[in-house]
Amino acid sequence: MDIDLSSEDLAFRDEVKEFLDSNAYKNGEDYNAWRLNWFKLAREKGGWDVPKWPVTFGGPGWTPTQHYIWEQQTAAAQIPWDLPFGLSMLAPVLMNYASKEQQDRFLPDIRERKVNWCQGYSEPGAGSDLANLKTKAVLADDGSHYTVTGTKIWTTLAHIADWMFCLVRTNDSGKKQTGITFLLIPMKQDGIEVKPIITLGGAHSVNMVYLNEVKVPVENRIGEQDKAWTYAKGLLQHERTGLAGISRSIVALEKLKKQAMTVKRGNATLMDDPAFRAKVAELEVDLLAVEFTELRSLAAAAGGSDPGPESSILKLKGTEIQQRVQKLTVEAGGIYSAAWGALPVGHKFAKGGMSGYLASRAYTIYGGASEVQKDVIAKNVLGIKKSSS
């Protein structure tokens, strides 16, 4: 693939860089006010606030190369925090399957960052085997609402969410993939209880969500009843592409190399150590290969294709690379990495390196475990079918 930038692409890169530099956060500034104004200014640029949305819904209509440039530049810049659940995961489902009334109701608030969403997919007995979900939704006799009862787990940021997009079972007959329905559920109502799950790194980002006879109006159903497996798969493909974090890994690897240059090894530094340099070089080569896969995926998307099995390749390899970067950061921190839970000692990056390493253990599990991605790749890329025996 030819990734040489044209003069137009170079001009676009300069324009993006100028926008990011001129609108960077300044110390002492009201962060929330800066954040909302940043998105307002990005919107005025012609859809830069929703870079992955199509033109018909207000997106910029960028080429694959322009998307690539945006990801590269924003990964290295300070941009406002943003949650992917509404913007990158739910929005494509609404654009493809929701009614015009539902699109008009939900998409504007998603774009304006007025509403926080969480994803109600995984359950205690249905993680990577998502089709095994048991959360039950019963349609009222008058057809006005569903009554939902069940449990969701690993629900990221459910404790701050206003809404949940949720997969529920509305039919137990037939294949597991049938009988699943897609509902939008307000979180602030009777019957919903959110309990924190503290992760290995000591953070509270994920939760257990209990739903006990929660009433959901039928107008909050997206698409047809019992047909949501198709919608769910499309959403997961968008999620997996985003979880790969290629641009972030490029920035993180460059940061790691600079950190390793501050670690003394005799009369030289850790980056001069042949064994460590070999690990970094191997990681850099693998990252370049995944970056090319991402570019092919962007090119397919520009041609009108939805994310395909490439999303599983990106998720599988991208999250593994993120873990390897974190592992090498801990290695660079040496014995000082062990003190991550106390006051920082030794190298300044050591404490954060260990915390990041512990958090990264989940990367190859959430969004579909690596084993699941390998099954998808085997079936849809290599053409290997499961044995009937």
Q: 329 CB contacts (<8 Å, ≥6 apart)?
A: 256, 259, 349, 353, 356, 357
CATH number at residue 138: 2.40.110.10
List the single range of 170-179, 264-273, 377-386 with lowest mean pLDDT. 377-386
Q: 38 CB contacts (<8 Å, ≥6 apart)?
A: 23, 79, 80
Rg of the chain over all Cα atoms, to the nearest angstrom: 22
Using CA atoms, how far apart are residues 94 and 58, in angstroms rounded to an integer? 14
356 belongs to a structural domain? yes
Tell me the average pLDDT across 248-268: 92
Write out 276-305 in H/E/C secondary structure: HHHHHHHHHHHHHHHHHHHHHHHHHHHCCC
pLDDT for 243: 66
Query: What are the tens digits of pLDDT across the range 51-72?
Result: 989 999 999 988 878 888 998 8
pLDDT tier at 156 (50, 70, 90 boundaries)? very high
Comparing 381 with 171, which gets the higher pLDDT?
171
2 belongs to a structural domain? no
Query: What are the tens digits of pLDDT across the range 284-329?
Result: 999 998 888 877 776 666 566 665 677 788 888 989 999 999 999 9
96 belongs to a structural domain? no
pLDDT for 294: 79
Please report which helix (H) or strand (E) contains residue 332, including its range. helix 310-333
Crossing angle for the helix pair 310-333 and 228-243, nearest 10 degrees?
Answer: 40
Using CA atoms, how far apart are residues 336 and 259, in angstroms rounded to an integer? 14
Using CA atoms, how far apart are residues 93 and 367, in angstroms rounded to an integer? 16
Whether the predicted pLDDT of 125 surpasses 60: yes
Using CA atoms, how far apart are residues 42 and 24, in angstroms rounded to an integer? 12
CATH number at residue 311: 1.20.140.10
209 belongs to a structural domain? yes
Half-sphere exposure of residue 197, counting CA atoms within 13 Å on the CB side? 14
232 belongs to a structural domain? no
Are the beta carbons of 354 and 345 closer than 8 angstroms? no
Distance set, CA 257 to CA 233, 253, 254, 348 (Å): 38, 6, 5, 14
Half-sphere exposure of residue 369, counting CA atoms within 13 Å on the CB side? 8
Q: 39 CB contacts (<8 Å, ≥6 apart)?
A: 49, 80, 112, 113
Query: What are the tens digits of pLDDT across the range 214-244?
Result: 999 999 999 999 999 888 876 665 555 666 7
With CA atoms as reference, report the closest residue to 327 among 389, 377, 256, 382: 256
pTM: 0.83
pLDDT for 2: 47
Comparing 187 with 383, which gets the higher pLDDT?
187
- 256/361 same-domain check: yes
pLDDT for 16: 97
389 belongs to a structural domain? no
360 belongs to a structural domain? yes
Considering the chain, what is the average pLDDT of its residues?
Answer: 88
pLDDT for 389: 47
Per DSSP, the three-state class of 114 is coil
Residue 347 structural domain:
244-380
